Amino acid sequence: MRLTEFIQANHEAIIAEWVQFATTLLPWAKGMSERALRDHAGELLTAVVSDMKAPQTSEQQAEKSQGLAAPGALTSVGQKHAAQRLATGFNLDQLVSEYRALRASILRLWADANGEEHRELNRFNEAIDESLTEATIRYSEMLGRTREQFLAILGHDLRNPLGAILMGSTMLARSERLDDKQARIAARILNSASRMNRMVSDLLDLTRTRLGAGIPVTPRAMDLAPICQAVIAELEAVHPDSHLRFEAFGDLVGTWDSDRLTQVISNLVANALQHGGEGGSVSVVAEGLGDTVALRINNHGPLIAPEAMRMIFEPMLRQPTPDGDRNSTGLGLGLYIAREIVVAHGGTIGVTSTEAAGTTFTIQMPRHPADTAQ
């Protein structure tokens, strides 16, 4: 039996073996459903068979061996699988191990079905895979050290002098000895340093999520209502012409990270104010629903375009404000980080945007998350 025919005939058995291997890749696979672990396996096998059956010149074969093949189905499924695994927290050597296990499984099953003639080919692949695995592990270790250095620079070496600027500019801004011009300069320094501090925090969170560490949360018993009220009071001082309304219903006590939820609510309400236009109305509604708590942030500014809706939680994407500015005060990470924090609490976040109801971001979180990132 030809290898392509064998793969087609044993499609499900091969995928099942791959899923079984993927479940061993802890802690990344912990809590993932079989569907999430299978993700693109069927699509990948179909693309492999199609590629193997397609005519191929010696020039095309050489280009493929050098990684210069024209983009096709294999390219698409490989990119999708890599993006999904990165978002889940798999690292590079785990990703390579999946492909290694898939190839080894297919060749082993094929050899078992066709006798000894393919055993030497298996041994060759095993030798290459062993070297590839060691190279990938070493690469990942070096990448990990680079990540830790980057996080250390952001979290300590850069924040220390930035903290000094914030402290000094705060003292100057509150001083009664400055004239109007000096006070304005001090206020601008304080505002700029605060923006830089937020950017550093956002970059730290982005780096943690993109390099597999995840956003750390420290859940403790808390009440969501005072957090919402504090955020609204802070933003009312910055946006005195806007109308902020908060409503609370039911029991809002749960086990969450208060600092992180403050960050989520602040990001979403500030986003609603920014895109709702100055003088606009923003409502924040928190509601206890049995074992879950829901939070809704609504504004009646310009609607979100359907094409933008699909990518709204992706990092570094900034939507234009009503005056045409693309959020020049930030890095376009607010919604992405809000989503990651909600997910770290075992919750979900979504958005709707209609003429009748305006734009509403809705968060739902378990009152007591069973397993949160630490």
Boundary (domain end) residue, out of 104, 127, 148: 148
- Give pLDDT, residue 345: 92
Question: What is the token pair recorded at 65?
Answer: 């061996």
- Give pLDDT, residue 373: 43
Within this chain, do residues 229 and 309 fall inside the same structural domain, yes or no? yes
Could you tell me if residue 290 is inside a domain? Answer: yes
Could you tell me if residue 181 is inside a domain? Answer: yes
Boundary (domain end) residue, out of 106, 128, 148: 148
Is 330 a residue whose pLDDT tops 70?
Answer: no
Among the residues of the chain, which ranges form H helices?
3-9, 11-22, 34-38, 41-53, 58-65, 73-88, 92-114, 119-152, 159-174, 180-210, 224-238, 258-276, 306-309, 334-344
- Give pLDDT, residue 364: 96
- Give pLDDT, residue 214: 66
95-145 pLDDT, tens digit each: 777 787 888 788 777 777 776 555 666 665 666 666 666 666 776 777 767
Question: What is the token pair recorded at 299?
Answer: 């504004």
Within this chain, do residues 120 and 185 fall inside the same structural domain, yes or no? no
- Give pLDDT, residue 155: 67
49-91 pLDDT, tens digit each: 888 888 878 887 777 766 677 777 878 888 887 877 776 667 7
Within this chain, do residues 225 and 118 fall inside the same structural domain, yes or no? no
- Give pLDDT, residue 25: 72
What does the pLDDT average to over 172-180? 85
Report the candidate in 301, 296, 282 with the shortest Cα–Cα distance to residue 358: 301
Could you tell me if residue 136 is inside a domain? Answer: yes
Could you tell me if residue 299 is inside a domain? Answer: yes
- Give pLDDT, residue 359: 93
Instruction: Rank 87-101, 178-192, 304-318, 347-361 by mean pLDDT and report only the highest.
Output: 347-361
Question: Residue 320's domain is classified under what CATH number?
Answer: 3.30.565.10
Within this chain, do residues 91 and 226 fall inside the same structural domain, yes or no? no
What does the pLDDT average to over 277-297? 88
Single pTM value for the model: 0.55
Boundary (domain end) residue, out of 210, 237, 252: 210
Q: Which of 108-117, 251-260, 332-341 has the lowest mean pLDDT?
A: 108-117
Tell me whether strands 220-223 and 243-249 are parallel, antiparallel or unpaired. unpaired
Report the candidate in 369, 370, 348 with the shortest Cα–Cα distance to residue 256: 369
Within this chain, do residues 225 and 359 fall inside the same structural domain, yes or no? yes
Within this chain, do residues 47 and 112 fall inside the same structural domain, yes or no? yes
Could you tell me if residue 64 is inside a domain? Answer: no
Within this chain, do residues 328 and 247 fall inside the same structural domain, yes or no? yes
Is 366 a residue whose pLDDT tops 90?
Answer: yes
Domain that holds residue 33: 3-58+71-148
Neighbours of 62 (CB within 10 A): 11
Report the candidate in 197, 198, 268 with the shortest Cα–Cα distance to residue 228: 268
What does the pLDDT average to over 328-353? 83
Is 204 a residue whose pLDDT tops 90?
Answer: no
- Give pLDDT, residue 95: 78
What does the pLDDT average to over 279-304? 90
Could you tell me if residue 280 is inside a domain? Answer: yes
Is the peptide bond between 315 and the residue preceding it cis, with omega within 30 degrees of 0? Answer: no
| Number of independent structural domains in the chain | 3
